[in-house]
Chains A and B, each alone.
Chain A
């Protein structure tokens, strides 16, 4: 738990330092080539960019701790735009997409992984393996465009653009998001399924599995009752890793399907050198990553009887 906070603190330092040393100046970009040094300096003062780095970091991280990520550089003089206001709805969209993908991919991956482990070396296992290897191998944008071509252009079942508006019904949202969700699932199911299979098979040479066989236990009970409970630690680690990826690594998918998520927001902010938004996005990504991995550790501890039930 403590290590999570320490990691987050170090990550925040790195984010801040990395952006501080990056070339590119928001003031110069915003004011254009013709701006005089005086106007640039004035503008920088109004954004607080003239203050020392340490002071800027302290005020930024202080605000972040209270849930306030500061003001965007795109704020006008009379119309302040908060970073929270820019990121908030985008984050909600990303989390929604991630949750949909997770709801489908995690059960499917576990199911396929367990089935592959039970029927290992059968044709079913082999074809699942081959299929998932293909899934891992293709880059996401490729899968996205192929799906788009097949299911939106050739056979117009789904939408190629994933634009959702607040008033839409559940069915409509599902239709609109079908392709991005499918693209995301394609890659992570493969990863999670293969790890589940490997984690279970890894245990099948254990003496307690042989003992279970010698007690006349059926193969599927051996997998579910005797192997799976001991495999949760590696499985939960890989699931956490993939869920974090759903939040952190969806930029490509969001761009391809023009989905208004946090990845797009970050790309836009980088383009306009809107540093507070970039920092805010990076911090949220880091937090999501660390929280999910922490959760995986908690599951690993809770499912280890040696730790959960000390002598």
Chain B
């Protein structure tokens, strides 16, 4: 089995490949240049993997792109130097930089689904750079691409390149993108959150492939992520960034065992939030034997679950497992084709239009993306005031007072009332969404991945807020998530879904400590742990390997 590249000798004696000195990158904020990277220096030796970690806005991606001598439109490098192999990239001509990009330094983007051109076959995009700058013939390049696909353990490496990007899964595309980065055998690859958009079970596959290929080819890498557990599996050294500045830098082992800075420690503790399980209560919402279809395609099959009053039910599963569809069916947005749903003992009509006003008020949704769920042209007053007026009939000053009360409940203050969503941070926007849901005074909140778009520290704050609200208002939550740490933090009961069915359900501790269904086991095993040897363990674990083979077989069938 592949083991972590602990060839310390090479790392200490190898020549310096990338040397960034006092780099300042500024962004154009309507005329004024504001620094987003504030004088960071780093150096990377041949074959070394450096992890860059931090929240959004820390400047990690900007720094990663600067390693290629590249800045996004609207940004500029104000000071500093980026020297690669002794060449100062910032002093070279654009044409000279182009010669280096893709051949000597390659880039793997966060979202392969949008970073592949939809108009061309995967193989043509993979070999593009090798043919133009690498001096290979088409046949040579294709042969090499296929070898790399096989190395990345893509199914059908000989044929998969002939597909268009939309015809393969997200995990496969992410691996194809890594193959594309490797095609010219670069000295350095910048990985920009390559597994963030993936399910945990897929993430393990991609992580393993990335680590194998980087080790085997002795390629240096900058690995950018916000997930410490992920970077711990790959990096020799970790740099923690915040607000464009370096917080702490250390060897991985030392960093994990003994973080020095308070901010670094806070990143560590975040994932340890845990809700004590509470005594069961009477169910407020009952779902029995529900099926649902998209056209002729069955998306939910025989769903039975209870939501106990004042408790949290977590629904977990990977994307496409039917979690969000279940939420839509309960809310009445997608009528169930059979089965019954009842709220407080009264049966709910399957379609939204046939439900009584009180029943509609009783179930409120909070969505993953507050950006998409909040109308950008409405102020917070409009956004929260409208459901207040609709459900309580309050108008004018009374309504404004109620809005302020609601904002205080979600720990926002009165002066946010005139703000537009664009003036708020991600966490604040999600708080407005929560306030809007409370405005209707519902009995059940359906929370669809409400923390997954947020930084870890903000996630923790939102989860704590939801816990407090539950205690104060005695509300019932259905919490859809793919993240086991979130389950730990908030759930009393858990439902595990796969391909539209419930494969296992039960009280949280029972389910997490003794998963019975193989899929639940695979899901729990795939959650990255803060242990640098976790990935080795997973890869050696026979059940996980079986699951991987099964996944490969299935994707080959698609």
Q: Which residues of A contact B (CB under 8 A)?
A: 205-208, 210-218, 221, 225-226, 229-230, 303, 305-306, 309, 311
Contact = CB atoms under 8 A, between A and B. Distances in A.
B129 A216 contact: yes
A216 B101 contact: yes
A309 B168 CA distance: 12
A106 B214 CA distance: 49
A180 B101 CA distance: 50
Contact of B111 (A207, A213, A218): A207
Contacts of B73: 205
Contacts of A217: 98, 102, 128-129, 132
A211 B115 contact: yes
A228 to B, nearest CB: 9
B128 A215 contact: yes
Nearest to A211: B115
Contacts of A213: 70, 101
A207 B109 contact: yes
B100 interface: yes
B109 A309 contact: no
Nearest to A209: B117
B133 A216 contact: yes
B107 interface: yes
Contact of A216 (B98, B116, B119, B558): B98
Nearest to A309: B164
11 contacts: A206-B114, A208-B117, A211-B116, A211-B117, A215-B129, A216-B100, A216-B132, A217-B98, A225-B120, A309-B167, A311-B167
B325 to A, nearest CB: 19
Nearest to A213: B70
Nearest to A226: B117
B99 interface: yes
Contact of B119 (A211, A221, A305): A305
B68 A214 contact: yes
A215 B101 contact: yes
Contact of A230 (B98, B115, B118, B128): B118
Contacts of A303: 119
Given A208-B117, A211-B115, A215-B128, A311 B166 contact: yes
Residue with the greatest number of chain A CB neighbours at <10 A, chosen from B103, B111, B115, B119: B119
B100 A211 contact: no
Contact of A229 (B98, B100, B120, B128): B120
Contacts, number: 77
B110 to A, nearest CB: 8
Contact of B101 (A208, A214, A306): A214
B98 A208 contact: no
B72 interface: yes
Contacts of A305: 118-119, 164, 166
Nearest to A232: B119
Contacts of A205: 73
A19 B120 CA distance: 51
Given A205-B73, A211-B109, A309-B167, A216 B102 contact: yes
A214 B107 CA distance: 7
Contacts of B118: 208, 230, 305-306
Contacts of A311: 166-167, 558
Q: Is the interface of A mostly helix, strand, loop or mixed?
A: helix
Nearest to B177: A211
The 7 closest A-B pairs by CB, nearest first: A216-B101, A229-B119, A215-B102, A216-B102, A216-B98, A214-B107, A207-B114
Most buried by A among B73, B99, B100, B115: B115
Contacts of A306: 118, 164, 166
A311 B168 CA distance: 8
Interface in B33-73: 65, 68, 70, 72-73
B356 to A, nearest CB: 40
A218 to B, nearest CB: 7
B98 A218 contact: yes
A214 B70 contact: yes
A286 to B, nearest CB: 33
B187 to A, nearest CB: 14
B85 to A, nearest CB: 15
Contacts of B70: 213-214
A206 to B, nearest CB: 7
Contacts of A208: 114-118
A211 B167 CA distance: 19
A206 B117 CA distance: 9
Contacts of B116: 208, 211
B294 to A, nearest CB: 15
A304 B218 CA distance: 40
Interface string B400-442: 0000000000000000000000000000000000000000000
A311 B166 CA distance: 7
Given A206-B114, A218-B98, A226-B119, 15 more contacts: A207-B114, A208-B114, A208-B115, A210-B72, A210-B109, A211-B109, A213-B101, A214-B65, A215-B129, A215-B180, A216-B103, A221-B132, A303-B119, A306-B166, A309-B167
Interface in B519-550: none
A212 to B, nearest CB: 7
Interface in B110-146: 111, 114-120, 128-129, 132-133
A37 B98 CA distance: 86
Contacts of B109: 207, 210-211, 214
